[in-house]
Amino acid sequence: MKIAIIGCGNMGMAFARAFLKFDLVKKEDFLMVEKSEDRMDSLNSFQPGVISGVIGPQIGEYDLIILSVKPQDFTPVSQALREVVKPHQVILSIMAGVTIERIQNSLEHKAVIRAMPNTPAMLGMGITAYSASPEVDINQLRKIENLINATGRSVFLEDEDQLNAVTALSGSGPAYFFYVVKAMIEAGKQMGFEESVAALLVKQTMLGSFHLINTADKSLDELIKAVASKGGTTEAALGQFEAGHLNETLKNGIIAAQVRSTELSKG
């Protein structure tokens, strides 16, 4: 499969690196389109394949076009791309909030997949949810799923509207995780630890806890109970969390992100 990526920011580069790492595409079959001069310099040092600063007729030679530009840049990009896109090509968009219908109308092109990855894709540990227009056939879908899985794991959603919830839950999710980690490190500093020591304690705790979730044959409630002995220190902390309605605050924040994602998808 010959692939063109338009927009070589963090996510565009994450996809490019994953495809090349697992030999899913040859360098000579890879086109990277980027208008930023600074990013062009990075691309030239990385040498992922053919590099271009403009959307030109050569785009028509590729099987898959990945749109990883900022949503606000889609309009000018679509105007240029509409002139060169070919009927046999598939468009894979990883732009947040831009619907399949809008992409189809803007490009006058029907075969469109919309995906929502997250930043751990840069390490090959992301999760990407995606939906497709009916014009994408099953063979094309399987090939693109294989590509997406190079960045971590994936889940197909028949209902595109659910991607707004995905954006709020896993797309924005790393920021929530970092927020909690930061608060714990700050607490460690208040208790007298150097920041480096507090960070080590918290990060290793998070890493180990993740593996417990994945391997222990227990529910989350059971895992919490196993740490929180009656009248102990963990129970004291959890009591404060409950008093401050931390559970509800987190859930309400994620729902607010979903509402905002839905607003953005409506333009």
Binding residues for NADP(+): 6-11
Annotated binding site: 6-11
**Cβ neighbours of residue 58 closer than 8 Å, sequence gap 6 or more:** 31, 50, 52
Please identify which residue in the block is written with the tokens 């040092």: 45
- Residue 267: helix, strand or coil by DSSP? coil
| Tokens representing residue 175 in the block | 């920021």
Read off the DSSP letter of residue 216.
-
Read off the DSSP letter of residue 73.
G
Distance CA 119, CA 229 (A): 36
Q: Compute and round to an integer the Cα radius of gyration of the chain.
A: 22
* Residues 25/81, Cβ–Cβ less than 8 Å: no
At what angle are helices 195-215 and 173-190 packed, to 10 degrees?
Answer: 130
Give the count of alpha carbons within 13 A of 201, CB side only: 14
Distance CA 115, CA 152 (A): 13
Beta strands 64-67; 3-6: pairing state: parallel
* Residues 173/151, Cβ–Cβ less than 8 Å: no
Give the count of alpha carbons within 13 A of 97, CB side only: 19
* Residues 34/53, Cβ–Cβ less than 8 Å: yes
